[in-house]
Chain A
Amino acid sequence: MNHETNLKKIQQEWHGSLEHYLIGFIVSLILTLSSFFFVGARLFTEDTLIYTIVGLAIFQAIIQLIFFFHLGRETKPQWSRFSFYVMVTVLLTILIGSIWIMNDLNERMMSFMTEGHHHHD
């Protein structure tokens, strides 16, 4: 087995291509335009709008991860993919945990303290 990975070999095995970058760019642009348009034109109600743009953001992040980062195309062992999943797990724990806890605390406060805040019951 030849372990000599030199520059030429890396260049030959390169995952990305012009098409990948262009697809990633154009899809991202469309998703961005949609988000801004939906909000600017106030196309939906507040809640629907929030879910829509968050969904569009996550979708665009996935598109960029695939087309710019080439995530998912590495050979085994897939350390990058694994560490990504670990990061996402920690991220979701901290994010959802913090927002849930702080929201819960807000609701336990007396009403006059939270006047003027937007929160859902």
Chain B
Amino acid sequence: MNRPLTVHYQDTLEKHPDLSVPDPHQDSYAKNSMGFWMYLMTDALLFLTLFTSYAVYKVETFGGPTSQELFSLTTAFTETVVLLLSSLTCGLAVLAAVKDKRASSLFWLGVTFVLGAMFLTIEVKEFVEFFEKGAGWNRSAFLSAFFALVSTHGLHITAGLFWILVLSLQLIYQGITSDTFRRLVIFSMFWHFLDLVWIFIFTFVYLMGVI
């Protein structure tokens, strides 16, 4: 399909949709959000393998610090509430965009960014503390698995923060179009997914680690 390059704000609509197939969702919103959902399913399996490794290695402390000695429930709880709030504000950003309220949407995206940055700061501080106590990722298999799992989640959050920045610029300069709206919705899927994974991290890593 030949479209002029400047016309990128129109939805990529199939001019002649194939009516003989069972699935009539052939617009880019439906295709992209389904594709991104598929990606999230594979990402879930990635986290699963990290969780499983952690489950196997969490007793292998090799004479080093144990989870009971290291983990602080206050830290974990704060991180959880911050991330949960950011999931809510992300939803509010999408709702504002649904109603074509660009300023409101940008505001809530900004709040989401701040909360996400807060989460990362708390997490990095915790990691630094662990290193200073001699509980780095090379201390034991338990710690290697812990850092692999929690850092992967943290890296996803970082990517999400960059995504918010780029998306905000697009909303500012292009407004709420088919494309920017679609990207905002897909970002929100990503952000909600990260909160979902965190539920399992705080349950299986922090809470179980303290029992």
Contact = CB atoms under 8 A, between A and B. Distances in A.
A94 B34 contact: no
A87 B26 CA distance: 24
Q: Main SS of chain A's interface residues?
A: helix
Interface residues of A, number: 54
B211 interface: yes
A117 B61 CA distance: 10
**Residue among A7, A25, A102 facing the most chain B CB atoms (10 A cut-off):** A7
Nearest to B181: A7
Q: Main SS of chain B's interface residues?
A: helix
A54 B177 CA distance: 42
Interface residues of B, number: 60
B78 to A, nearest CB: 11
Contacts of A14: 98
A68 B87 CA distance: 8
Contacts of A7: 11, 176-178, 181
Given A36-B77, A80-B37, A18 B207 contact: no
Interface in A69-108: 69, 77, 79-80, 83-84, 86-87, 90-91, 94-95, 98-99, 102
Contacts, number: 141
Contacts of B200: 57, 61
A91 B44 contact: yes
B141 to A, nearest CB: 12
A98 B52 contact: yes
Contacts of A68: 87, 91, 192, 195
A36 to B, nearest CB: 5
A54 B11 contact: no
Interface in A42-76: 46, 49-50, 53-54, 56-57, 60-61, 64-65, 68-69
B22 interface: yes
Contacts of A91: 44-45, 48
Contacts of B100: 11
Contacts of B22: 77
B29 A5 contact: yes
B73 A86 contact: no
B35 to A, nearest CB: 10
Contacts of B80: 32, 36
Given A16-B91, A25-B84, A68-B192, A87 B207 contact: no
22 contacts: A3-B17, A5-B11, A5-B29, A7-B181, A11-B98, A11-B181, A16-B95, A16-B98, A24-B88, A32-B81, A36-B77, A39-B210, A40-B73, A50-B208, A54-B204, A57-B204, A65-B196, A68-B192, A79-B23, A83-B37, A94-B48, A117-B59
Interface of B: 11, 13-14, 17, 19, 22-27, 29-30, 34, 37-38, 41-42, 44-45, 48-49, 51-52, 55-56, 59, 73, 76-77, 80-81, 84-85, 87-88, 91-92, 94-95, 98-100, 176-178, 181, 189, 192, 195-196, 199-200, 202-204, 207-208, 210-211
